[in-house]
Chain A
Amino acid sequence: MVHQEAFEWYIAVYLFLAGVGAGSMVVAAVADMYDREKYLSFIKAASLIGMPLVSIGIFFLYIDLGQGMWKPWLLIFLFANPASAITWGTAILTIFTILSFIYGAYNLGYLKIGCSRCLNWLLIITGICTAGYTAVLLGSLKAIPFWHQTALPILFIISATSTGISGAMIVKLIFLKSDANIKPIETAHLYLIVLEIIMLIGMMLIALQGVPEMKYAAESLLFGDYAFLFWFLLVFTGLLVPAIAFGMEEAHKLHMKTKTVVTLEIMVLLGGYLMRYLIIHAGVYTKKFAEYIVR
């Protein structure tokens, strides 16, 4: 079995940052439509990180490029092939970055816009596309069976929304120093983390029964080279501990200080990054032959 080596941690960082940025903007836009006044501190916090994080993500994509980095005029060709997922992604990212910049400026009081409801909807749609497209980018490659599955975009969208909430929460608690009550978002965050755990369990159980390449990829995460990162940093630190802590708070059995909440949110972000990193590195090429050598 051969692991792919073309995509490395730069791409994982991009997938992660695009997810956090897009996720925070989507949640902010949804919260905006429910009750702008109540969630204003969250919306402002999301506005501060949404566009900047996506832009940093794009910067990582840019420095991962080869010739395109030192010959930037070639980048215009990125729109040349409508069949390529990178072309879709370039278009989606361009639109989303502009929209999230306008929305951020509006929320922070630098700009007045007419139809904020339209902007909310546009942000929700392009934000979900931004978060989901990162998985479609990997999933449209049938040469790598572990990526080539429908569960991946769903997992990435859930993780993007969850890490997006975490990112905005950290900004809200530390930089905006707001203790406004945004309980429904915290509840949603708990459910998203639980959903992510269920999705991961499902994906792993299915992958273990899948084609040999998929099984090999899942085994390298569960028992192989990446087992420590997977079990300790992703599952335990990034998902289980936050889920249990948020769940106990939800049940009023635990009252957490700001510091504890921020630590937990950082753990969720770490888990989100590792999820991308591990899925990128578990990409195993489909077999060229082996059983195709006929006797």
Chain B
Amino acid sequence: MSEASTAAPMIETHGVTKVYADGRVQALAGVDLSVSAGEFVAVTGPSGCGKSTLLGLLAALDSPTSGTIRVGSHALEQLHDANHFRRQEVGLVFQFHNLLPRLSTLHNVEIAMLGSTRPHAERTGFALGLLDDVGLAHLAHRRPPQLSGGERQRVAVARALANEPSVLFADEPTGSLDSHSTEVVLALFQRLRTERGVTIVIVTHDETVAATADRTVHMLDGRIDLEGPTP
């Protein structure tokens, strides 16, 4: 476990359950999880074990059937404005980049700032800075169809960082990438953690990806069955 994990928890869940389809499908069956500020945690497990469901709940994209979730200073069950929480507190990266093909790379990053408190005059410069951080400033005017898969995912990471979140959630971020692009994206995550102190939780079923995290949480049938530092 890294040094960061000894700090105050950034994320805490207690007894979180999630039931779908009128009670017939139990996706989560009592999850207790604690993630320290600045920690890089990988959630692994077979398909259907509930890891993406857990990530969706942590990002306030959905609400639990029971249990409590706290991210930073926010108790999610008491959130009045989940949109504001997602915009200001968390960054999201998905397996598919979900970039808007008609916008330039730069505007795909800026779109996350619409409605944010950052002044208009600063947005373009800031977005360009983020693209530079992910090594793509020279492609700021290209559109997503003109980028490789790895480049698109790096733009998606830049977009996730647009509002300087304290936590980054990534659901299978390398699931559709080749090995080289996977390495680039994982190196980017490592640098985010070490250079910025961003807390990162990624969901993956790829053991080699999980190995780059500080800690691995293994899930099975909606529960955490193994937890420990990455070897």
Q: Decide whether A and B assemble into one complex.
A: no
Residues of chain B touching chain A, judged by Cβ–Cβ distance below 8 Å, are: none
Residues of chain A touching chain B, judged by Cβ–Cβ distance below 8 Å, are: none
